[in-house]
């Protein structure tokens, strides 16, 4: 008969798989948005049926991932329930990260060179970021804008009794999205490099 510890181990494995799936969904949504932008730019002024159909497909992918009843929201809800169960039964565990092979300053400088040119205020350009945790092998990308991840930010704010009735603009910001990723993946320490000045709005981070 399985012990409570065995159940905890199994649930943590499930949680890890769900978190990986959510991250993959976010990345798929970002790629679909980028492809949609390229298609619209290339097909601007065109009435070709195949271009319109392709745009429709990518739009459906993005909506299917990010809408309130979409895949990411469902997975996130399941993950939150598992975390609550683990905490209630004292089964939550923190894993000490391995030591990084290069200094944070070196990693930051290397990532800064990989980013697009700095965003010009008022241009409507998206902020791009690269982030990493202590000991991580590969940095991960994060982009501002409305997508599945910003929808998750708003869901989390609502769960924590955010006082405003509507979503703040900052749910689309890189810093806020990263904070929710860290919460979801139980990350305590992370460094992020972005190509814009961090937000100083009322609910900015």
* 167 vs 157: CA distance, rounded Å: 8
Mean pLDDT to the nearest integer, 108-113: 84
Mean pLDDT to the nearest integer, 134-157: 85
Mean pLDDT to the nearest integer, 90-106: 61
Mean pLDDT to the nearest integer, 124-145: 83
Residue 97 is predicted with a pLDDT of 46
Tens digit of pLDDT for each residue in 18-38? 878 877 877 787 788 888 888
Mean pLDDT to the nearest integer, 3-8: 83
pLDDT band at 171, cuts 50/70/90?
A: very high
Tell whether the model's pLDDT for residue 158 goes beyond 80. yes
pLDDT band at 154, cuts 50/70/90?
A: very high
Tens digit of pLDDT for each residue in 32-68? 888 888 888 877 766 678 888 888 888 888 777 766 5
Residue 155 in any domain: the answer is yes
Residue 19 in any domain: the answer is yes
> What is the residue-averaged pLDDT of the chain?
80
Last residue of a domain, one of 88, 112, 130: 88
Residue 46 is predicted with a pLDDT of 63
* Same domain (yes/no): 75, 145: no
Domain count of the fold of the chain? 2
3-state secondary structure the chain: CCCHHHHHHHHHHHHHHHHHHHHHHHHHHHHHHHHHHHHHHHCCCCCCHHHHHHHHHHHHHHHHHHCCCCHHHHHHHHHHHHHHHHHHCCCCCCCCCCCCCCCHHHHHHHHHHHCCCCCCCCCCCCCEEEEECCCCCCCEEEECCCCHHHHHHHHHHHHCCCCCCCCCHHHHCHHHHHHHHHHHHCCCCCEEEECCCCCCCCCCC
Q: For residue 152, is it left (φ>0), alpha (ψ between -120 and 50) or beta?
A: alpha
Residue 95 in any domain: the answer is no
* Same domain (yes/no): 49, 116: no
* Same domain (yes/no): 15, 81: yes
pTM value? 0.54
| 140 bridge partner residues | 131
Domain assignment of residue 43, given as a range: 4-88
CA-based nearest residue to 76, from 4, 136, 155: 155
Residue 98 is predicted with a pLDDT of 47
């Amino acid at each position: 008969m399985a012990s409570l510890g065995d159940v905890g181990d199994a649930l943590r494995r499930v949680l890890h798989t769900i978190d990986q799936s959510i991250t993959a969904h976010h990345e798929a949504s970002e790629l679909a948005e980028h492809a949609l932008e390229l298609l619209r730019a290339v097909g601007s002024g065109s009435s070709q049926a195949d271009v319109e159909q392709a745009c429709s497909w990518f739009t459906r992918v993005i909506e299917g991932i990010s809408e309130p009843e979409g895949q990411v929201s469902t997975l996130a809800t399941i993950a939150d329930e598992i975390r609550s169960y683990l905490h209630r039964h004292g089964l939550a565990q923190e894993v000490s990260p391995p030591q990084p092979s290069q200094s944070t300053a070196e990693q930051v400088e290397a990532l800064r060179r990989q980013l697009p040119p700095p965003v010009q205020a008022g241009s409507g350009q998206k902020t791009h970021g690269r982030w990493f945790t202590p000991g991580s092998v590969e940095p991960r990308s994060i982009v501002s804008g409305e997508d599945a991840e910003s929808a998750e930010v708003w869901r989390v704010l609502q769960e924590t009794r955010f006082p405003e009735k509507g979503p703040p603009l900052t749910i689309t910001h890189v810093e806020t999205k990263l904070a929710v990723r860290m919460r979801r993946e139980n990350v305590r320490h992370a460094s992020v490099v972005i190509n814009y000045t961090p937000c100083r709005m009322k609910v900015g981070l």
